[in-house]
Structures are given as C-alpha cells and as structure tokens.
Amino acid sequence: MSAAEQTVLKIAEQIERAVDDEIERVDQMDDDELALIRKKRMEQLKEVQERRIEWLKKGHGQYLEVPSPKDFFDYVQSSERVVVHFMRRSTPRCEIIERHLRTIAAEHFETRFCYVDVERNPSLPQRFNVMMLPTLMLVEKQNTFHSIIGFDEFGGTDDFPTSTVVTVLSYYGMINEKGMFAADQNDD
C-alpha cells in the first residue's frame, strides 16, 4: 500500500470514528435533550420562514425594474444586499445576464435583484459612472463595494452557465451558494 493510500485510509478511519462518536452521543441522549434539539430547530425554521416573508415583502425573490432614482435608493436602504443590473434591452449580453439573474433571484431570497434600464432612467448610470453594459453593481449595507463589468468575471464568453454567476456572486458574499435556507445565519 502506497503512502498516499495509507494517508487516505487513516483519514477515513478518523472520519468513521468521529461519526461513530456522534452516533453514540445521540443514542445516549434522553427524551428531554432530544425535545430541546427539536424545539431549537423548529424555532430556527420559523425564523427562516419569517425572514423569507419579510424579504418577499421587500421584493426579494424577483428580478424587478428600478423605476426611478428614488426607488433605487429605497431598494438599497431597505435590503442588506442588492445586485443592480444596468442594462439596455437592445444589448444582447444584457439579455444573457438577465436570464441568469431571473433564475438566481427566484432561488436566493437573501438578496434583492433589480435592473436599471439605462434608456428609461439615464441619471442613475451617469451618477455611478456606468460606462459599459452589462454592469452588475454589488451593494451591501447601502455601500457599493464592487461592479462586475461585462463578462470577464464569468469567463469572458457568452455561453457561461447560471452556476458561474452563482459562484461569482457567492465569492463576493452577495448570495449563499447553498441557497436561502443556508443563509439563515446572515443578518438583513
């Protein structure tokens, strides 16, 4: 057996011991301890559901147009995390990113997703010096901390999968890659 195989075997044995220890610990719990664990988990699930309802009221779970500068600032102030897509309908690459964002928005309630049509609302791209489309502006706690300009961060091609956008947005902390329910530890 090679050294690498021995190392893998040792790691597997350690993991197996840890799992056995955890199973033994759970087996030794009395009914009161198990009831407490159940109660705690039910409270966590209830809190997640309440957060989801609150996020839905704020427009999370959808990909909506920003109708005016006032609405833009309202969106940013009312949500901890916002992804803003500056786009133009006649720009094919804007349509590509829009498809991905619609899919992601429906799955990631922890972040608000919206878009600014630069032809309908030209003052916002001017205010934020948006020069190239598409541009995704990432806002957390009312502060813009990064802009994704074009497709370079998505691989530089037009045929990247939605999972690539999820990975990039997760990298910047805008979404939880595991989904909304894994994000129940985040504050909003």
Q: Which two tokens stand for residue 157?
A: 């091609």
The pLDDT value given to residue 92: 95
CA distance 66 to 133: 16
The pLDDT value given to residue 158: 94
Q: Taking the model in full, what pTM does it have?
A: 0.70
Domain 61-172 in CATH 3.40.30.10? The answer is yes
CB neighbour burial string for 2-40, b if at least 16 within 10 angstroms, e if fewer: eeeeeeeeeeeeeeeeeeeeeeeeeeeeeeeeeeeeeee
Domain spans of the chain, in order of start: 3-54, 61-172
Q: Beta partners for 137?
A: 84, 147
CA distance 146 to 158: 21
DSSP secondary structure string, the chain?
A: --HHHHHHHHHHHHHHHHHHHHHHHHHT--HHHHHHHHHHHHHHHHHHHHHHHHHHHHTTTSEEE--SHHHHHHHHHH-SEEEEEEE-TT-HHHHHHHHHHHHHHHH-TTSEEEEEETTT-THHHHHTT--SSSEEEEEETTEEEEEEETTGGGTSSS---HHHHHHHHHHTTSS-TT-GGGGGGS--
Q: Which residues of the chain fall below pLDDT 50?
A: 181-188
Give 57-69 pLDDT, tens digit per residue. 777 788 999 999 9
